[in-house]
Amino acid sequence: MLPVSLAVLRQQLADIVEGTRPTMPGLATGVAALDAALPGGGLPRGRLTEIAGAPGSGVTTFARHLVAAALTAGWWVAYVDAARTLAPRDWAALGTHEGLWVVRPSDAARGAWCADVLLRSGAFGLVVLDGAPALPRAVAVRLVRLARASDAAFVLLGADGQRSGIAGALQLRVQRVRKRPAATLDLTARLASKSPAPPVRLRHMAITIEKGAPVQRVEVECVREGARRVREDSQVPDRRGVARRDGERRTTHAAKSRRATTQSADRPSGGAASAALGRTPARPA
């Protein structure tokens, strides 16, 4: 018989325990195809769900969709913005729900502590931790236990390759699918109004279930209003590169000042200069 390490035995035992638990109704994501693929019809409650993706893949957009679906179902939601990167404009529409709490700690390392307090309260059906540094295993295990005690869905957002290593966690990977945008803009309504509405854009994403359910790939179509790129305006001065040019100007000025100081220190003064030229300095009468 081949020797088996303790870590492998723990992993096998955790898989057996998770597999024998009764399937509880999950927290619906609002995406019918994804809910159908997940056990329980949505995000598992009392467990950890890890959502990862490259920057710009749509992880935050998908998380906002999850929050909207939970609020519509009547759940209270707590979103810990540890990195303080959420755009208020994108989340303003959800502010009409009294059950939405957005917590922005002063330090990203305090994000796990905020999630700990929110899960302990037992008031939230969904707690999202976004932008926190990689969690130590002991901290991640404690948060999962708190989620299990409060029967809440705990979601951890991270970058590709950033995993907690918790056995039984559901892992979703978000990828952006580039497609030709559809014409979803009513030009007549825009021309009739004095202040044209921002264009409506569609974002296509592919969500892959990597762990916690049979591996499947689901394509999602999300609507996003407004343009993200910076628009040029003739009335607004272009200040791109101003800081760089100012820095170069200050560096050049400092170099000239140092050269002038060095030349003044090296130049002979008074009698030394006259002696060097072969003349005797004039004395006052």
Q: 221 - beta bridge partners? A: 204
Give 198's Cβ-side CA count (13 Å radius).
12
CB burial of residue 187 (10 Å; 0-12, 13-18, 19+): exposed
Domains of the chain: 40-182+195-225 (3.40.50.300)
Q: What is the pLDDT of residues 41-76, one digit of tens each?
A: 899 999 999 999 988 888 998 999 999 999 999 999
Q: How many CB atoms lie within 10 A of CB 106?
A: 7
Average pLDDT (149-176) is 87
In this prediction the pTM is 0.65
pLDDT at 172: 92
Give CA–CA dist 193/196, Å, rounded. 6
Contacts by 220-229, CB closer than 8 A, 24 or more apart: 220/31, 220/33, 220/34, 220/62, 220/65, 222/58, 222/61, 222/62, 222/65, 223/184, 224/61, 224/90, 224/200, 225/197, 225/198, 225/199, 225/200, 225/201, 226/89, 226/198, 226/199, 227/198, 227/199, 227/201
As to burial, measured by CB atoms within 10 angstroms (0-12 exposed, 13-18 middle, 19+ buried), residue 254 is: exposed
Q: From the centroid of its chain, how far is CA 239? A: 27
pLDDT range class, residue 7, cuts 50, 70, 90: confident
Closest CA to 176 of 150, 149, 202, 154: 202
Tokens of 79: 């979103």
> CB 129: neighbour CB atoms within 10 A?
26
pLDDT digits (tens, 9 = 90+) for 165-181: 787 899 999 988 876 55
Cα angle 131-215-213, degrees, rounded to a multiple of 5: 80
The token pair at 95 is: 């502010």
- As a whole-number percent, the residues of the chain with pLDDT over 90 amount to 35
What pLDDT band is residue 116 in, cutting at 50, 70 and 90? Answer: very high
Mean pLDDT, the chain, as a whole number? 76
